[in-house]
């Protein structure tokens, strides 16, 4: 599952004419200022080409720009890739430059890339951002063709620093960045699995495999145990499917001296038809990604397994397939949850909040003192933020702050929704403790959905992250690929392993 295809190593940059690594490509990241200089690479013909590209506005050093210049033997590389960094060099522009360079390297069938670290930037931080970008950029979605042609691979990238003393520091920065990128790509792979290839039982098996790989405790409840324990919400959501539900938990104890336990709850709906309140057929295939929250948690756990941060975690993944059948739950049903509260089901397509509420209660029972849930919860978050930002709802602004900082550090966008009591009031039911959909599905849909889950967090500090717009894309967007993005793995990694990543 974590097969390494690109090996990242380090080397010493002496001059552009040096290529003791036998690389077929050289990546140079250039800011707008770098590009305005008389001497850019120091190779007269290539500098002339670059100046022409700059003067024609083709390559100006803006972030996102990438040009592949064939060297025709002027330098000992087949191509020099130049990537723009924009007016400011930072981790985000470096990561993006590396993503675009990796994609171009694959397109040009380059197998070995030498990468010059920009001299005007902290080399450790540059190495980590570039490593992340290179590995994220080589991600490709799995295909299931009968005769799949052999794919080009970027086998090696050598990060070149001018300071020989840096080597050990760079190695550790590379190792942590590798863990983060691999965790993200792993979440993408899991999320991209079609609904017929990933059902609740196989998601549970994957969690068990991951737990065994790192020696974490893992427990899986099957549909009988789920019902016996009184998880009526998870039983109801899973009832319509031939693939029964699972409740998956994983535990990691990295700080035995602390009483704090972070409960992470991830939505694991392996396919969402909407159930009896069925979705329109157009675009329903996107709902293979409705377990994106679960995949994000497992991707983050992969990072935790490598970096071993000083935190205590209990991860809870309620998993079900939301289908229709004679056994499916219906609008109007009243179900009793693990917490003992009753839920009036008004829309069977609002299934995520029901199983997440069960996950929240279970995490509390397992000792969580703080809660974060990650879920492709609503289409409404797309109305608010398009596919640009993940929406956050919380009952504790102080608890949210470091998470927002972690997202900014990781280069992922999270924006907070308000949490006014009026929104909670919209979930009042005449016959149950709470209802799962409001009379207008559309008004403040992302907020009311989040607050349904928050109801079950009760007094514990809680954050909800709605990745309904960001977990899956209809086409490539910036550094993110079409299909699953693995969104929030990097944010959670920065949040949990902040010290290790510094
Ligand atoms: N999984 C969907 C949310 C979703 C939709 C995510 C589109 C990504 C893209 C969720 O289970 C759902 O169906 N939510 C409904 C709730 C409504 C019925 C109250 C929605 O957002 O339409
Ligand atoms: Mn739904
Ligand atoms: Zn759903």
**Secondary structure of 258-272 as H, E, C letters:** CCCCEEEEECEEEEE
Distance of CA 406 to the CA centre of its chain: 13
Distance in Å, CA 3 to ligand 3 centroid: 30
pLDDT by residue (tens digit) across 254-287? 999 999 999 999 999 999 999 999 999 999 999 9
pLDDT by residue (tens digit) across 433-481? 999 999 876 899 999 999 999 999 999 999 999 999 999 999 999 999 9
DSSP three-state, residue 198:
coil
Residue 499, pLDDT > 70, answer no
Distance in Å, CA 265 to ligand 2 centroid: 17
CA atoms of 115 and 93, how far apart (whole Å): 15
Residues 6 or more apart in contact with residue 104 via CB below 8 angstroms: 66, 68, 81
Q: Locate the ligand 1 atom nearest the alpha carbon of residue 290 and give its number.
A: 1
pLDDT by residue (tens digit) across 9-20? 999 999 999 999
Torsion of CA 284, 290, 292, 294, to 10 degrees: -160
Residue 227, pLDDT > 80, answer yes
Could you tell me if 263 and 364 are in contact, meaning their C-beta atoms sit under 8 angstroms apart?
Answer: yes
The pLDDT value given to residue 435: 98
Higher pLDDT, 121 or 248: 248
Beta-ladder partners of 157: 8, 113
Averaged pLDDT of the chain: 96
The residue with tokens 């799962």 is 436
The pLDDT value given to residue 502: 57
Distance in Å, CA 474 to ligand 2 centroid: 18
| Ligand 1, residues at Cβ distance < 6 Å | 272, 274, 286, 290, 347, 349-352, 376-380, 437, 441, 445, 468
Calculate helix-pair angle for 200-214, 292-307, nearest 10 degrees: 10
Catalytic residue positions, numbered: 279, 353
The pLDDT value given to residue 148: 85
What percent of the chain lies above the pLDDT cut of 90? Answer: 94
Residues 6 or more apart in contact with residue 219 via CB below 8 angstroms: 248, 249
The mean pLDDT of 175-195, rounded to a whole number, is 98
Neighbour count for residue 327 (Cβ, 10 Å): 11
CA atoms of 299 and 293, how far apart (whole Å): 10
Q: Among candidates 456, 437, 295, which has minimal Cα distance to 378?
A: 437
The 3-state secondary structure of 59-70 reads CCCCCCCEEEEE
Nearest CA to ligand 1 atom 5: 379
Neighbour count for residue 370 (Cβ, 10 Å): 18
Q: Locate the ligand 1 atom nearest the alpha carbon of residue 347 and give its number.
A: 18
Could you tell me if 481 and 391 are in contact, meaning their C-beta atoms sit under 8 angstroms apart?
Answer: no
Q: What angle do CA 172, 173, 176 make, to 5 degrees?
A: 85
Give the pLDDT band of residue 167 (cuts 50, 70, 90): confident
Beta-ladder partners of 473: 483
CA atoms of 368 and 316, how far apart (whole Å): 10
The residue with tokens 């171009």 is 104
Q: Among candidates 98, 80, 101, 102, which has minimal Cα distance to 24?
A: 80
pLDDT by residue (tens digit) across 33-53? 999 998 999 999 999 999 999
The 3-state secondary structure of 322-374 reads ECCCCCCCCCCCEEECCCCCEEECCCCCCCHHHHHHHHHHHHHHCCCCEEEEE
The 3-state secondary structure of 284-328 reads HHHHHHCCHHHHHHHHHHHHHHHHCCCCEEEEEEEEEEECCCCCC
* Beta-strand pair 246-253/217-221: antiparallel
The pLDDT value given to residue 1: 59
Q: Among candidates 37, 43, 39, which has minimal Cα distance to 18?
A: 43
The pLDDT value given to residue 4: 74
Q: CA neighbours within 13 Å on the CB side: how many for 323? A: 21
Residue 501, pLDDT > 80, answer no
Could you tell me if 347 and 331 are in contact, meaning their C-beta atoms sit under 8 angstroms apart?
Answer: yes
The pLDDT value given to residue 149: 86
Could you tell me if 215 and 208 are in contact, meaning their C-beta atoms sit under 8 angstroms apart?
Answer: no
Residue 124, pLDDT > 70, answer yes
Domains belonging to the chain, first-starting first, are 7-162 (3.40.220.10), 189-501 (3.40.630.10)
Give the pLDDT band of residue 486 (cuts 50, 70, 90): very high
**Ramachandran assignment for 338, one of left (phi > 0), alpha (psi -120 to 50 degrees), beta (any other):** alpha
Q: Which among 283, 379, 387 is the best mutation to test ligand 1's pocket, defined by most ligand atoms within 8 Å of the CB?
A: 379
The pLDDT value given to residue 65: 98
């Amino acid at each position: 599952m974590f097969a390494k295809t690109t090996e990242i190593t380090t080397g010493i940059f002496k001059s552009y004419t040096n290529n003791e690594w036998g690389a077929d490509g050289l990546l140079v990241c250039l800011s707008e200022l770098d590009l305005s200089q008389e001497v850019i690479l120091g190779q007269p013909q290539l500098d002339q080409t670059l100046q022409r590209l700059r003067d024609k506005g083709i390559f100006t050093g803006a972030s996102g720009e990438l040009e592949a210049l064939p060297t025709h033997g002027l330098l000992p590389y087949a191509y020099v890739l130049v990537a723009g960094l924009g007016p400011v060099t930072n981790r985000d522009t470096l990561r993006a430059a590396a993503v675009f360079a990796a994609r171009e390297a694959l397109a040009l069938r380059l197998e070995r890339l030498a990468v010059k670290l920009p001299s005007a930037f902290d080399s450790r931080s540059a190495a980590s951002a570039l490593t992340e970008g290179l590995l994220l950029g080589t991600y490709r979605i799995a295909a299931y063709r009968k005769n799949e042609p052999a794919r080009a691979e970027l086998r090696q990238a050598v990060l070149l620093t001018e300071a020989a003393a840096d080597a050990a520091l760079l190695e550790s920065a590379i190792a942590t960045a590798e863990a983060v990128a691999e965790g993200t790509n792993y979440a993408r792979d899991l999320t991209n699995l079609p609904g017929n290839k990933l059902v609740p039982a196989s998601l549970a098996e994957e969690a068990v495999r991951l737990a065994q790989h790192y020696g974490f405790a893992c427990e899986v409840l099957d549909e009988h145990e789920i019902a016996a324990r009184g998880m009526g919400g998870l039983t109801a959501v899973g009832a319509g499917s031939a693939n029964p539900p699972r409740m998956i938990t994983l535990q990691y104890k990295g700080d035995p001296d602390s009483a704090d336990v972070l409960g992470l709850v991830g939505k694991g709906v392996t396919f969402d038809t909407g159930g009896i309140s069925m979705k329109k057929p157009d675009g329903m295939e996107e709902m293979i990604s409705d377990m994106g929250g679960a995949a994000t948690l497992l991707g983050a756990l992969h990072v935790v397994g490598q970096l071993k941060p000083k935190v205590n975690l209990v991860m809870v993944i309620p998993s079900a397939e939301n289908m229709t059948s004679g056994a499916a739950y219906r609008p109007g049903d009243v179900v009793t949850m693990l917490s003992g509260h009753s839920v009036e089901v008004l829309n069977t397509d609002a299934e995520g909040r029901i199983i997440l509420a069960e996950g929240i209660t279970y995490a509390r029972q397992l000792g969580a003192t703080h809660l974060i849930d990650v879920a492709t919860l609503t289409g409404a978050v797309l109305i608010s933020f398009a596919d640009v930002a993940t929406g956050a709802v919380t009952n504790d602004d102080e608890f949210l702050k470091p998470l927002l900082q972690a997202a900014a550090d990781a280069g992922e966008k999270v924006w907070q929704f308000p949490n006014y009591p009026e929104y909670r009031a919209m979930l009042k039911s005449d016959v149950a403790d709470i209802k799962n959909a409001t009379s207008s599905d559309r008004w403040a849909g992302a907020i009311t959905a989040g607050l349904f889950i928050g109801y079950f967090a009760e007094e514990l500090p809680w954050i909800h992250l709605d990745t309904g717009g960001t977990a899956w894309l209809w086409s490539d967007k910036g550094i993110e690929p079409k299909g699953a993005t693995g969104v929030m793995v990097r944010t959670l990694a920065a949040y949990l392993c902040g010290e290790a990543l510094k």
